[in-house]
Structure 1
Amino acid sequence: MSDNSRLDAQHRRLLGLLGLAIFFEGYGRSVVSVLLRPIGEDLAVPGPQLSYALAAISAGALGVLLLGHLTDRFGRRRLLLGCVLVYSLLGAATATATTLAALVAWQGAARMFQEGALAAAVVIAVEETPASHRGLAQGVLGVANSVGSGLAAFLLAFIELFPGGWRGLCAVSVLPLLFVPFLRRTIPESRRWTGGTHPRRRFVPAAYRGRLLAGLAVFFLGMSYDVAGFAFTAFWPMSRHGWSAARTSALIIVAGGIGLPGFWVGGRLTDRMGRRRSAALFLVGLALAEAAFFLGGSGTLWPSFTAMVFCQAGKTTVLRSWAPELFPTSLRATASSQLAAGGVLGAMAGLAAAGALGAALADMGLAITLVATAGVAAAVLAYTCLPETGGVELEVASPETP
């Protein structure tokens, strides 16, 4: 918490530490999606079944409902460090999977703590940065998280050099263990949390239930097509267009890197234009970009994937800034985690819908494009049903209730 109207050295240092904590969360969360084709070949699993497996893995993130409550009760810092420790071990254990069920079990368990680490880091950043720069702060964290995802794509090009192929890349997930002692010494607790009360209640009070319901709908729809589209960005060029692993890796790294400024642009726009207009812009933009990626030819993959990354980055920044601002400090992590869980359910539904439509239509690209129409509905709901909180102090935007 700060009275300054800008990000000073202390804020930047905190964002750097939080970024380090969620850098590896990005790697662990994305590594299976990036390795979808080699995993499918090794375990003899076809594309539609892989979609269902990704949906099942996503279900693990529902554990954030418990972790969010614990974050409000026992502190943001403590839960962040614990989640980093556990997701590292579970992610590395995925390398031992010899069946699709085992892979889903390890990754599903890891996803719970990945989501918990991300949620705690987001709340700390919201509570500790100035109101006029909360969007930009989330953009900084988004870049760190996405660079972690990019590391998985980068290492895909060298998969043949890793012992065990895709298993070796999963084992890389153990690296965050080396940084836990450093993070324990350097990441402070949120001063809003230490100065507040920590009730045992698990449910959002009546005054905030309207916001919660609207937010759940936006997050459900907004994540349904997001996750479905990005889950197949490595699979699609290789299976439909015959691209090699190295060429696909180059697409994800280079075109994805070009789109990364979407985090910065999203942060700037949401701080200047407000949450509502920025959310609508990026939600619709991502839907259009996915349609171009999956319906266009080989020549459209580079520009459309760049647009996908840019719009997803902006959307993610806006929603991560917005969610914690909608609720008071005493239940901020709890309610934000409930919105995140809504997004998880949306992701599961989107992947399941893509799998079902892909099997029925015999065309995963068309299936994912149909799922992407959810982005338009999410944009309408975000603009009309959620309050504007950009630039408003948290205590004003979401005061405590008796």
Structure 2
Amino acid sequence: MTSSTQRTQRTRTGRITVLVALAVFAQESTWNLYDSQVPPLLREHLGSAALIGALMGMDNVLGIFIQPWMGNRSDRTRTSWGRRMPYLLAGMPVAALLFLVIPHVAASLPLLVLVMFGYALVANSFKPIAESLLPDFVPPERRSRANAVVKIAASLTVMVAALISIFLIDTHPKLSFAIPAVLMVVSLVVLAANVRDSRSPAYRTAVAEEREHHGTPAPAARVRDTVLDIVRDTDRSRLLLIAAILLFGGAWAASRALITPYGMEVLGMSRGEAGGLTLPSGVAFIVAAYPVARLAERFGRLRVMTAGMTVFVAGMVLGTVVPTPGGAVTALCVASAGASAFLVNAVVVLWNLAPSDRVVGTYTGLYTVGWVSGGFLGPAVVGGLVDLTGWPLLLLHVAIVALLAVLAVARVGVLQRRSSAGRAL
């Protein structure tokens, strides 16, 4: 490949990375404000924290079922626009409209729940589709750094939601919901003006594979076929990786969901002080994300993931050994920096383990299933261990769950070293 061709490819890769990051930024801006500001609206009608939590968890339950199915459906779509863009063009405006309506129907609980359900249904439908544009356009060897940019964009939305909450939500609640909705529409306009994923290398490869094997265009494997292929494969790499995603997702979620009561019970902090323990670690994640992506592309994704997860475990152990507010903040920063190695690279490894470009959307959905399932189970399992041993050992229990994920990824590394497939892992 000539130097001019390489420069052209890098330019195209950078351009699509920015466009996908913009789309994900807009989507996650609505999700983060939804998570922070819809519970107070529900609380005006409901006195049960459990019921509020169940309604807020509805989007995760829907995501487990919808995202793999929609990712697979986009894999099997063939249009002049490509296989992803038609769903984004249809879904993003509807999701933006439903999100905009939320504060306008807040006075009626049935209407509020109905709009919440509609928003969660539509937004979950195109979430894996937008993310799948990345492997469609970006070659395997450069996917880590591209995904790092997308993860940084998603992380920044936490700050955007916090700023909207601080400066607007009390005085202009309807305007607060309008801002992320407008961002989503603007990002869609930019995407529509610049992206035709029918021109992507993955789309063209998928169409070529279908014609080569079947003579005429044929649909990609359905979700059930893809899952059975993973389960029945004698090389357990994909199954072990999904298990690692579930385990590490559980450890990450537990370290976030239970840190406020930990700060209150163990460190003697107020609710507000304890709630701020994770803020510096968010900055640590953003700072570490791109460097670990570059390291992964140089030294191997599985090696860097294993090292980063080990750093996460070490951070949790440090927090257990030094049970002070400063120790907790330091531990969470170390852990978040280490976790970035997994969060940036895990889905890339799963994409690269896919047997064909025809199923990368399905694999994006399966990644979400593993991560969200861990988000459900992790806090519950770790919370049960805390009930048995006490709050001082919370971070140690998180470390144990994460260590199981380390072992799973290390095993994937062993299996891949034995393989001669030569994939970019």
Indicate the TM-score class for this superposition, using the shorter chain for normalisation: 0.7 to 0.9
SS in 1 for 2:219: coil
- How much has 1:321 moved relative to structure 2? 1.3
Give distance in 2, aligned partners of 1:40 and 1:168.
Answer: 19
Which of the numbers 327, 334, 346 marks the counterpart of 1:319? Answer: 346
Which of the numbers 294, 300, 303 marks the counterpart of 1:277? Answer: 303
Contact 1:123 1:324 in 2 (8 A): no
Q: Structure 1 residue 196 and structure 2 residue 206: aligned?
A: yes
- How much has 1:388 moved relative to structure 2? 8.0
Partner of 1:342: 370
Contact 1:214 1:381 in 2 (8 A): yes
Which of the numbers 254, 266, 287 marks the counterpart of 2:292? Answer: 266
| Aligned CA distance change for structure 1 residues 236 and 41 (closer, same or farther; 3 Å) | farther
Partner of 1:136: 145
| Aligned CA distance change for structure 1 residues 125 and 178 (closer, same or farther; 3 Å) | closer
Give distance in 2, aligned partners of 1:267 and 1:233.
Answer: 27
Q: Structure 1 residue 300 and structure 2 residue 327: aligned?
A: yes
Structure 2: which amino acid aligns with 1:191?
A: P
Partner of 2:128: 119
| Aligned CA distance change for structure 1 residues 362 and 207 (closer, same or farther; 3 Å) | closer
- CA displacement, residues 235-277 of structure 1 (integer Å, 9 cap, x when unaligned): 87689722649x967x666552243122102211211221222
- How much has 1:40 moved relative to structure 2? 8.3
Give distance in 1, aligned partners of 2:120 and 2:159.
Answer: 18
| Aligned CA distance change for structure 1 residues 221 and 133 (closer, same or farther; 3 Å) | same
Partner of 1:154: 163
Contact 2:71 2:365 in 1 (8 A): yes
SS in 2 for 1:215: helix
SS in 1 for 2:347: helix
Partner of 2:191: 183
How many equivalent pairs are there? 389
Normalising by structure 1, we get a TM-score of 0.78
SS in 2 for 1:260: helix
- CA displacement, residues 73-118 of structure 1 (integer Å, 9 cap, x when unaligned): 1212333444433443344444345699987775565455545544
Q: Which moved more, 1:151-160 or 1:93-102?
A: 93-102
Question: Which protein shows a greater Rg?
Answer: 2
Which of the numbers 67, 71, 92 marks the counterpart of 1:84? Answer: 92
Contact 2:30 2:181 in 1 (8 A): no
SS in 2 for 1:201: coil
Give distance in 2, aligned partners of 1:205 and 1:385.
Answer: 18
Contact 1:135 1:268 in 2 (8 A): yes
Contact 1:94 1:171 in 2 (8 A): no
Partner of 1:374: 401
SS in 2 for 1:147: helix
| Aligned CA distance change for structure 1 residues 139 and 38 (closer, same or farther; 3 Å) | same
Partner of 2:211: none
Q: Which moved more, 1:129-138 or 1:85-94?
A: 85-94
SS in 2 for 1:373: helix
Partner of 1:28: 30
Contact 1:25 1:117 in 2 (8 A): no
Partner of 2:283: 257
- How much has 1:317 moved relative to structure 2? 0.5
SS in 2 for 1:15: helix
Structure 2: which amino acid aligns with 1:280?
A: T
The alignment-based identity, stated in percent, is 16
| Aligned CA distance change for structure 1 residues 321 and 201 (closer, same or farther; 3 Å) | closer
Which of the numbers 60, 64, 71 marks the counterpart of 1:68? Answer: 71
After superposition, where does 1:385-396 map in structure 2 within 5 Å?
385=412
Give distance in 1, aligned partners of 2:60 and 2:113.
Answer: 9
Structure 2: which amino acid aligns with 1:146?
A: S
Which of the numbers 400, 410, 422 marks the counterpart of 1:383? Answer: 410
Normalising by structure 2, we get a TM-score of 0.74
Q: Which moved more, 1:12-21 or 1:281-290?
A: 281-290
Unaligned runs of 5+ in 2: 78-82, 208-217
SS in 2 for 1:157: helix
Give distance in 1, aligned partners of 2:398 and 2:110.
Answer: 26
Give distance in 2, aligned partners of 1:11 and 1:107.
Answer: 36
What RMSD over aligned residues (CA atoms) do the two structures have, in Å?
Answer: 4.1
| Aligned CA distance change for structure 1 residues 258 and 100 (closer, same or farther; 3 Å) | farther
- How much has 1:305 moved relative to structure 2? 3.6
Contact 1:357 1:364 in 2 (8 A): no
Partner of 2:180: 173
